[in-house]
Every structure is written in structure tokens, then in C-alpha cells.
């Protein structure tokens, strides 16, 4: 009997997959990758997989690794897909693949199974990671198989299958959206959210944030400490990566921070509407950028800013394990060496503002920057500077007269 490893969440789709794989004659090993999903019952999910008939069902704690080795390097790039999305789902998928492939080696599996659809981005992220890490391992993607889609054309058929197999599920036909969660964010899509004209706020039961309207009427302050671009402390207390993000999720969440609603361009070519909440990461992006403004020089920051959209695109598409990403991350590690210090943020009804920043490596010199008289900057020097900068323009102006 061929052994397969299934990336398993315990939801409707992967619960159906356990039963279907057994029907197809596979020995199924389920792997629940614990990424700090704030609203899920892991023991119940594992027990359900075993009751359905999985040969094994285990959870692997990867919360710290997700924050330390995946999310924080992307944070250092200030990477946002299409200038908005903080990549919470995208960042997690390569790690899920990695953990599942490690389990495949342990049990001697010959295939890796995932429940991503043939329309979405996750199929790309899972498969591209697997191709890079285990090129010989077979990928089974049931949603790309005509036979599977014929058997399960929609949620009604899946629910009927679960009822016939006595597979317990919480989903219902009337659920107005689907969600995916980890400690970085929760995403909401599909169902009624597929209509871009529909306001998602009244539909969604948000799991990490209160609405800005319901947030406290008083600004809350939090201080984030960084060492070499890595967040290491909250209000002076050193924390591991996951605990730090969890703390910021709580602080940002109660102040309504980190909700976005966007129509994005998927890797496969279509547009899709998604609603996301990322309270902790939104705070970290703001604090990190404020500290970089003190510690990094202009040309380096501008170079990073030109490259950042490409990094965001690579993460979104699933190109995490590749030579180009390795080189870019090496560049970023060098870039972040002076980014050490503390930033205090003010959080108020969905807004985040840096209120103070300090660093032992600050490049800010008040004596140079002051608008008061004197100081160490000689304004007369700007005369020669601008004459040199203006030379090409004067030459052009003499040879090509511009109408004005």
C-alpha cells in the first residue's frame, strides 16, 4: 500500500481528503502544522483524522520557526504584495511543505498531498516548495483531478460524503465565507465576499481584532525593541519570536489595528477579493520602518524599496526555496546589521503611529538637521552642489527650449 503524507487542518476539505485517499487505497499520514492558529482545536482535529482511518495523525509545533525564520525576514524587506497585503498565508505555505516533507521521510511516504484548489495560489506555494526540497517526491493535488471534482462538485456533496462516512464537520452549506489562520493573520475569502460590492465587515466574525469603532477611546502605547532588524522585546521585556508576535496581536487587536480589504491579482492570473487581519505584523512593520529611518542611509533604503515589491511577489507566488531568494536574504542580513534600537507606537482605533524612536546606531544628527541658525551644516556649500547638479539641465535648456 502506497504511503502518502497529507497537509491536514481538520476542516471540511482535508477531512474529506482523508476519507477519499483511503477509498483510493492509500495509507494516509496526516500532519497538522501548528502555526499558532488562534481559533482551532488541534487535539480534536488529530482525533478526528484517526477516527476516519488515518494511519497516523500528528501535530508539529512550528510557531517559533514561522515567526523567526519566515515572517521576520519578510518584515525586514518591508514586503507587501501589491503595496497592501502582509503575506500571512503566503509566508506559511513553504514551511508547511517543509514539515510535511520531513514527515514523509520519517514514514517512507512516496507522495505529498495538499487540499489547495486548482484556482488558487496555495497550490503553487505548496508545490514549488516541494519541488525544491524533494524533487523526486510525487505531488497529489486532488482538486486538479477531474475524477475528484466530479465526485465533489461543491460543498453540498462534501457534506453529504462526510455524513455518509460519519465524519464530523462544523461547516455548513450556508457559511458565507472561508477562512485560513495562523499567528501572523487570518484571511477571509469566497462565499459572499466574492462580490466586491459587498461590505465584508458585517459578514465576518473577526478572530484577532475588534472593529476600530469598538476600540478604546484612549490611545495605547507599546515599545518594540529590535536587534539587527529582528524584533526582540515588548516594553523592555525580552521575548521569543512567537511570544512577541502573540503579545502584539493582543495589543494591536484590541485597538482595531491591522484590517485590510483588497482585490488582488493571483499568480494563476485571476483577480480575487480577500479580507485580512494582521494586528501584530502591522505594528511590527510600522516600528521596523521607523527604526530604519534612523539607522539606514538613503541610498541603501531606496535600493531596498525598489527590490521589496519583487521579494513580496516571490513570496506570494511561492518561490521561497530558490537561489534568488537565498541571495536576497543574504543581502538583507547585511543591510539590517545597524537596525538596533527601540520604537514606541501609539495605537488608536485602527491607526498606528510611531511616537518616538532611538538607536545607538542613529544617523540622525540634530546639529546638522536643525533649522535654527548655526549648526555644523554650511548652507553656502549648497551653492556649488546645485550648480553641479544643474549643469545637465542648463545644457539641455540651451539646446532645447521648453514651452511654458
> In the chain, helix, strand, coil percent, each to 5?
45, 20, 35
Residue 125 marked ligand-binding: yes
299 classed as catalytic: no
Q: Confidence class of residue 265 from pLDDT cuts 50, 70 and 90?
A: very high
83 classed as catalytic: no
Q: Is the pLDDT of residue 181 over 80?
A: yes
Measured distance between the N- and C-terminal CA atoms of the chain, rounded to whole angstroms: 80
Give the CATH H-level superfamily of domain 3-175: HUPs (3.40.50.620)
List 13, 259, 278, 308, catalytic entry? 13
Longest dimension (CA), the chain: 85
122 classed as catalytic: yes
List 178, 233, 243, 362, catalytic entry? 178
Q: Is the pLDDT of residue 40 over 80?
A: no
Write down the pTM of the prediction.
0.95
- Who wins on pLDDT, 375 or 70? 70
297 classed as catalytic: no
Give yes or no for a contact between 267 and 177, defined as CB atoms under 8 angstroms apart.
Answer: no
What is 47-60 written as a DSSP string?
HHHHHHT-SEEEEE
pLDDT digits (tens, 9 = 90+) for 222-246: 999 999 999 999 999 999 999 999 9
Residue 10 marked ligand-binding: yes
Residue 121 marked ligand-binding: yes
Distance of alpha carbon 401 from its chain centroid, rounded? 51
- Who wins on pLDDT, 148 or 12? 148
Residue 161 marked ligand-binding: no
Domain 184-358 has CATH 3.30.70.1380: no
Residue 9 marked ligand-binding: yes
pLDDT digits (tens, 9 = 90+) for 94-126: 999 999 999 999 999 999 999 999 999 999 999
List 57, 97, 103, 122, catalytic entry? 122
Check residue 262 and give its pLDDT. 97
Return the domain boundaries, the chain.
Answer: 3-175, 184-358
- Please tell me the distance from the alpha carbon of residue 196 to that of residue 102, in angstroms, as a whole number: 40
- Please give the average per-residue pLDDT across 121-139, as a whole number: 97
Amino acid at each position: 500500500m502506497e504511503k502518502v503524507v497529507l497537509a491536514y487542518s481538520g476542516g471540511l476539505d482535508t477531512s474529506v481528503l482523508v476519507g477519499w485517499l483511503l477509498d483510493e487505497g492509500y495509507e494516509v499520514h496526516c500532519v497538522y502544522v501548528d502555526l499558532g492558529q488562534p481559533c482551532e482545536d488541534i487535539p480534536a482535529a488529530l482525533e478526528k483524522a484517526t477516527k476516519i482511518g488515518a494511519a497516523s495523525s500528528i501535530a508539529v509545533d512550528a510557531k517559533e520557526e514561522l515567526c523567526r525564520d519566515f515572517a521576520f525576514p519578510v518584515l525586514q524587506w518591508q514586503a507587501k504584495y501589491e503595496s497592501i497585503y502582509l503575506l500571512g498565508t503566503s509566508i506559511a505555505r513553504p514551511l508547511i511543505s517543509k514539515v510535511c516533507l520531513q514527515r514523509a521521510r520519517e514514514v517512507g511516504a512516496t507522495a505529498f498531498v495538499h487540499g489547495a484548489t486548482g484556482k488558487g495560489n496555495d497550490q503553487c506555494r505548496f508545490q514549488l516548495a516541494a519541488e525544491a526540497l524533494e524533487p523526486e517526491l510525487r505531488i497529489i493535488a486532488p482538486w486538479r483531478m477531474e475524477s475528484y471534482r466530479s465526485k465533489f462538485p461543491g460543498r453540498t456533496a462534501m457534506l453529504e460524503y462526510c455524513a455518509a462516512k460519519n465524519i464530523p464537520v462544523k461547516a455548513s452549506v450556508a457559511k458565507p465565507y472561508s477562512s485560513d489562520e495562523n499567528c501572523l493573520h487570518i484571511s477571509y475569502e469566497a462565499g459572499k465576499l466574492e462580490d466586491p460590492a459587498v461590505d465584508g465587515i458585517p459578514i465576518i466574525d473577526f478572530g484577532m481584532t475588534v472593529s476600530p469603532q469598538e476600540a478604546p477611546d484612549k490611545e495605547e502605547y507599546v515599545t518594540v525593541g529590535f536587534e539587527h532588524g529582528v524584533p526582540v522585546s515588548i516594553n523592555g521585556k525580552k521575548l521569543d519570536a512567537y511570544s512577541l508576535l502573540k503579545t502584539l496581536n493582543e495589543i494591536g487587536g484590541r485597538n482595531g489595528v491591522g484590517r485590510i480589504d483588497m482585490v488582488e491579482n493571483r499568480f494563476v492570473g485571476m483577480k480575487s477579493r480577500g479580507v485580512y487581519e494582521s494586528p501584530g505584523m502591522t505594528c511590527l512593520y510600522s516600528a521596523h520602518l521607523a527604526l530604519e529611518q534612523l539607522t539606514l542611509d538613503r541610498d541603501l533604503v531606496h535600493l531596498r524599496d525598489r527590490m521589496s515589491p519583487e521579494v513580496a511577489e516571490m513570496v506570494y507566488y511561492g518561490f521561497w526555496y530558490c537561489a534568488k531568494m537565498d541571495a536576497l536574504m543574504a543581502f538583507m542580513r547585511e543591510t539590517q546589521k545597524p537596525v538596533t534600537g527601540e520604537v514606541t507606537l501609539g495605537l488608536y482605533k485602527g491607526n498606528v503611529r510611531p511616537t518616538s524612536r532611538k538607536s545607538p546606531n542613529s544617523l540622525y544628527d540634530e546639529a546638522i538637521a536643525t533649522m535654527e541658525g548655526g549648526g555644523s551644516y554650511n548652507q553656502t556649500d549648497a551653492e556649488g552642489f546645485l550648480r553641479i547638479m544643474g549643469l545637465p539641465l542648463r545644457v539641455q535648456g540651451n539646446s532645447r527650449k521648453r514651452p511654458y
